[in-house]
Structure 1
Amino acid sequence: MDNLNMTIDPSCLREAPLAVDVIKQLDVFGIILYSCLTLMAAVSLLVYLEECVYVYKKVPSPKKTTIIWVIGAAPVIATMSCLGLWIPKAIMFTEMTSSSYFAIVVYKFLILMLEECGGEEEFLRRCGKGRFRISTGPCCCCCPCLPRVPVTRRMLTILKFGSLQFALLKTVFCIICIVLWTNGNFDLTDLGITGTAIWINPFVGILTIIALWPVAIMFMHVRNILRSQKIIPKYAMYQLVLVLSQLQTAIINILALNGSIACAPPFSSQVRGSLMSQQLLILEMFIITLVNRLLFRRHYDPLPAADQHEKDNAENATIILHRESGDNMA
């Protein structure tokens, strides 16, 4: 902003620059920063590929497919953020790709908890007499008076569908947004009542909350059963990816739209805010990828049978009865 005539620098109103323009304006610090972030994204991808090979060889189906999907969230987001960092014009596409992949991970994490219990049938046999506590976040954490619902196959199907709808509809909405963008009808910065973004984004937010609720319900039910499978730190990493990739990015974009992030030619405030978000995500997803490697790259032992103690008690009771019968006969 020029202090004399209060005019805006024309470069702050331009669209995102081309990749070659980004490279030309890099100074020594920028070259070092971009190189380190690119190296982190590359290492994240290599660590993920190494994990995939290990899981594919050591873990039986179908659990290995689910694990590969879940551990891929952080490296995929890091890779897409690196592409958006070097090619600012593609940021909208890289963010949509990351969000679509994570929408699938939300559903896959629910399936992972079931498979850690031994599958759907084993889960129902183990927990069929229990009840789900539905007063959990993000929908009903403030409603402890809600009744608990029985663990049935029908209820389990409802929970799975609640997360599956987000994986499907999020991808559909991303495709619709891209089609509208090519026709000039979609702009993330257009928050007017006539803009399409102001209608699509809140609806996607509602779908996100609906999808996260079943995962939270399932986690609260199995967290003690799967404590030996390190389900609590795994769930923490899943939640951390959610907060950083969705909430953090949304906050930075809102600050950029309000002008709280200063323009730095050739980047407008919106583009600069997006680049800051990509840089943070690469570093954060790199750390999460390393932590996930410690959590998932291990030997997978099956859970003990649900009725193991009941069988032992029955056998002990039978032995005692036989001994008592023998003593009486003697």
Structure 2
Amino acid sequence: MSNGTNLSVDPSCLGQPPPVAIRIIENLDIFGIILYSILTFMAAVSLMVFLEECVYIYRKVPANKKSLIIWVNGAAPVISTMSCLGMWIPKAVMFTDMTSACYFAVVVFKFLILMLEEIGGDEAFLKRSSKHKLRISTGPCCCCCPCLPHVAITRRSLFLLKLGSFQFAILKIVFTVLSIVLWTNGNFDVADVSITGAAIWINPFVGILTIIALWPVAILFMHLRTALQTLKIVPKYAMYQLVLILSQLQTAIINILAMNGTIACSPPFSSPARGYMLSQQLLILEMFIITLVTRLLYRRQYEPLPSEDHDDNENTYMVAMPKSA
């Protein structure tokens, strides 16, 4: 007589790929139907709110800011829509995540340009900053380096700020296309963290590019936050940062926990697939809330910008340049 115990393990818990959409529908219980319906409704509302906002922007906003505000406002609805597609079609999660990441890479650059346009454009920015130097000891790169020298605001330094964010918008798309090409050849797998896998080389490099791109935006925000205070730039920047944290950092943490088996499998989802699914569902809810908040922030009339003298007296992140004898 055998003393062993026969344990049956669902095949989906043994590292199987994500299920197809029809299998998810077949396995939905009452709670699952309600959950999926509510999240799909939230994603649809987010998209409709964004489309309505686009109509408003084209009618009411000056031409130089129309496309910029639409791009920035579209971050949360686009991520929500892509997450909804990934929730219903788990096999497409890699592509929906890549689409969201590419869109947000462009938003990083657009937000920097939007701040410049809010101050009046490049010329107005240079005129306001001609008597000051800029502190570059800000996050995410150099917040712990207060000894860094102050940088004069010139056309060259402004160009470098733009270039720092623009490179991410371009290179992120390039590396995404490269990842898809390698995936079709069987060389790219987001779950493969071995030294011979392409993901272990591409993802850290993209992470470095991300940090480099966020740095100029943070520098410019700290520079202009007082001047643009009446335009509610602080909560706008907070929403931009929140989208970044939730769509990138939160997703990465959940995926790491799932790949390590911390998140248990739940047929028909393996542990990694369930982690991806939880990430998509959380993003839909979070981006829905952010969509409503950003609509309130961008769809309102603001007081005029303060005078240049008022800005000079209050902006603590600009350092006066010494006058030459």
Matched, 1:112 2:107: no
Amino acid at match of 1:189: A
Q: Under a length normalisation based on structure 1, what TM-score does the superposition of the two structures give?
A: 0.90
For these two proteins, the number of residue pairs brought into alignment is 308
Q: Secondary structure in 1 aligned to 2:127?
A: helix
Q: Secondary structure in 2 aligned to 1:217?
A: helix
Match of 2:81 in 1: 79
Match of 2:10 in 1: 9
Distance 1:215 1:255 in 2: 30
- Alpha-carbon spacing, 1:59–1:4, altered in 2? closer, same or farther (3 Å): same
- Alpha-carbon spacing, 1:195–1:4, altered in 2? closer, same or farther (3 Å): farther
Match of 1:245 in 2: 247
Distance 1:304 1:146 in 2: 29
Amino acid at match of 2:151: V
Distance 2:278 2:147 in 1: 43
Match of 2:209 in 1: 207
Distance 2:147 2:176 in 1: 37
Q: After superposing the two structures, state which structure 1 stretch, 72-81 or 179-188, moved more.
A: 179-188
1:257-289, Cα deviation, whole Å (9 max, x unpaired): 100010111111111000000000000000000
Distance 1:191 1:254 in 2: 11
Q: Secondary structure in 2 aligned to 1:62?
A: helix
1:264-279 mapped onto 2 (5 Å cutoff):
264-279=266-281
Match of 1:164 in 2: 166
Match of 1:184 in 2: 186
**Alignment identity in percent?**
71
Distance 2:248 2:217 in 1: 17
Amino acid at match of 2:266: A
- Alpha-carbon spacing, 1:24–1:134, altered in 2? closer, same or farther (3 Å): same
1:1-330 mapped onto 2 (5 Å cutoff):
4=5, 9-12=10-13, 13-299=15-301, 303=305, 306=308
Distance 1:191 1:46 in 2: 39
User: 1:9, CA displacement in angstroms?
Assistant: 3.5
- Residues 163 and 214 in structure 1, CA contact (< 8 A), matched pair in contact too: yes
Amino acid at match of 1:187: D
1:78-115, Cα deviation, whole Å (9 max, x unpaired): 00000000000000000000000000000001001100
User: 1:307, CA displacement in angstroms?
Assistant: 6.6
**Structure 1: unaligned runs, 5 residues or longer:** 311-330
User: 1:61, CA displacement in angstroms?
Assistant: 1.5
**Structure 2: unaligned runs, 5 residues or longer:** 313-325
Distance 1:211 1:308 in 2: 30
Amino acid at match of 1:157: F
Distance 1:53 1:128 in 2: 37
1:213-236, Cα deviation, whole Å (9 max, x unpaired): 000000000000000000000000
Q: After superposing the two structures, state which structure 1 stretch, 297-306 or 109-118, moved more.
A: 297-306
Distance 1:224 1:261 in 2: 44
- Alpha-carbon spacing, 1:224–1:262, altered in 2? closer, same or farther (3 Å): same
Q: Which runs of 4+ in 1 moved over 3 A?
A: 3-9, 304-310
Amino acid at match of 2:194: G
- Alpha-carbon spacing, 1:250–1:96, altered in 2? closer, same or farther (3 Å): same
User: 1:300, CA displacement in angstroms?
Assistant: 5.5
Amino acid at match of 1:268: S
Distance 2:311 2:268 in 1: 68
- Alpha-carbon spacing, 1:154–1:5, altered in 2? closer, same or farther (3 Å): farther
1:191-245, Cα deviation, whole Å (9 max, x unpaired): 1010000000000000000000000000000000000000000000000000000
- Residues 117 and 123 in structure 1, CA contact (< 8 A), matched pair in contact too: yes
- Residues 55 and 68 in structure 1, CA contact (< 8 A), matched pair in contact too: yes
Q: Secondary structure in 2 aligned to 1:131?
A: strand
- Residues 166 and 211 in structure 1, CA contact (< 8 A), matched pair in contact too: yes
Q: Under a length normalisation based on structure 2, what TM-score does the superposition of the two structures give?
A: 0.92
Distance 2:221 2:237 in 1: 8
Distance 2:132 2:43 in 1: 43
RMSD, aligned CA: 1.7
Amino acid at match of 2:229: R
